[in-house]
Chain A
Amino acid sequence: MPDTLKLEIVTPEARTFSGDVSHVKLPAAEGEMMVYPMHVPLATQVASGEVIVRQGYEDVFLAIGEGFVEITADRVMLLSDMAIKAENIDEAKAEEARRRAESRLQEHLTDEETATVNAALAHSLTQIQVKRRRRHQIGAGAAPETEA
């Protein structure tokens, strides 16, 4: 029985993550989902949110956008329009993108444009959320993470 999953996180810009992991937590459409090896084959949509990957003894945190995930016994393939590791998130930039998107929403837009802006807004909000939560955890609970 395999004790690791092959996880791939792919976006249109790049293959953000690729490697063997012991488990991964995903924001699936129906709620958060923890995936261990030997999961039943499953295909579902993912919402934008936070992905937590356990690789060896370390956790990797990523902010992802909407997309799809395909899970088999030994493999998880996550396709998303955004994926960015928590340490690479620039909070100031994300904050500014959020403000820009919000002010754009005040203007008169076609449906198409509104959809695009809403997607951008969701992206930046997710990034900010993930970043804040990580900083909070590292600030308050640095000890458990290093112990693990």
Chain B
Amino acid sequence: MPSTREIRRRIRSVKNTAQITRAMQMVAASKMRRAQESALNSRPYASSMNQLLAEVVANVGDFWHPLMEDREVKKRACILVSSDKGLCGPLNTNLMREAAKFDKESTAFITAGRKAAQFVARTKRELTAEFDYKDAPLFSEARAISKQAQSLFTEGHVDRVDVVFTNFISTLRQTPETRPFLPVTEIKRLESDVEGKGGEAALPQGGTEFLFEPGPNEVLGALLPHYLNFQMYQILLEAKASEHSARMVAMKNATDNANQLVKDLTLEYNKVRQAAITTELLEITSAQLAQG
């Protein structure tokens, strides 16, 4: 049986751990609120943008843009968006499992976040570019990532780009997701599949031709890169919201576990202490009896 002093020491150390995890939980909770808010607030913009692009592309007739070219896929790129730090539960593990599905030989990785870069280096995959993004992702950071992907695609180094990131669903649920990024035709299809309303809005317009000012090439030429940049921005926001939510939940679990452990140890400590007192009393009384 461990001595009372040993148990006391363990209680103290577990309490310290609980204090730290509680502090981390608080920090994650406040960051989470902000990250969730910005992710949710920019969703209408992102979905309006998708809808706009889908309608315009559907109505534009035979318009062609380098970012829409559908080639045979020989080489592909994957943008992997992870967190910088760990201690956020199964978030990154799940994400990497999703990323590991990509063929090792024919996939080049673009990473955002330190964990993603570590994963690519550890599994000896091809790393093309490494980006980082702040706690409150900036549009310029997203633009840099998306520009890199666009230039890889237009210069013909890769024939297809996907994004792997953690989509934020709720505080308790974040799912790793693979979303096609380039060429643009695929995104259009995906959005109308997922949202269902893209198709509904585009259909009644089917017959009418859109006018473009100054011209279709100029408008779509400006709209497409912006659309991709924003898509990337939204993905960064979702990833951040997921990260902080996952960390908050993980830290809450850790705190709860530590507190439970302190309870159990305290019970154990009291038992040991009482047992010691009882034996001591027994010894004293039996000694007295022997003397008397």
Contact = CB atoms under 8 A, between A and B. Distances in A.
Interface of A: 8, 10-15, 28-30, 40-45, 68, 70, 72, 77, 79, 81, 112-113, 116
Contacts of B49: 79
B153 interface: no
Given A28-B213, A45-B219, A68-B223, A10 B44 contact: yes
B45 interface: yes
Contacts, number: 72
B187 interface: no
A127 to B, nearest CB: 18
Contacts of A79: 45, 48-49, 52
Contacts of A41: 59, 205, 208-211
Nearest to A12: B42
Given A15-B45, A29-B213, 9 more contacts: A15-B44, A29-B214, A41-B208, A44-B219, A45-B213, A68-B226, A70-B56, A72-B205, A112-B143
For the residues of B in contact with A, the DSSP-based class is helix
A43 B144 contact: no
Contacts of B109: none
Nearest to B208: A41
A116 B209 CA distance: 35
Contact of A13 (B41, B205, B219): B41
B238 interface: no
B102 interface: no
Nearest to A69: B52
Nearest to A115: B140
Contacts of B55: 70
Which residue of B38, B44, B51, B56 has the most chain A CB atoms within 10 A of its CB atom? Answer: B44
B219 A43 contact: yes
Contacts of A116: 140
Contact of B48 (A30, A45, A77, A81): A77
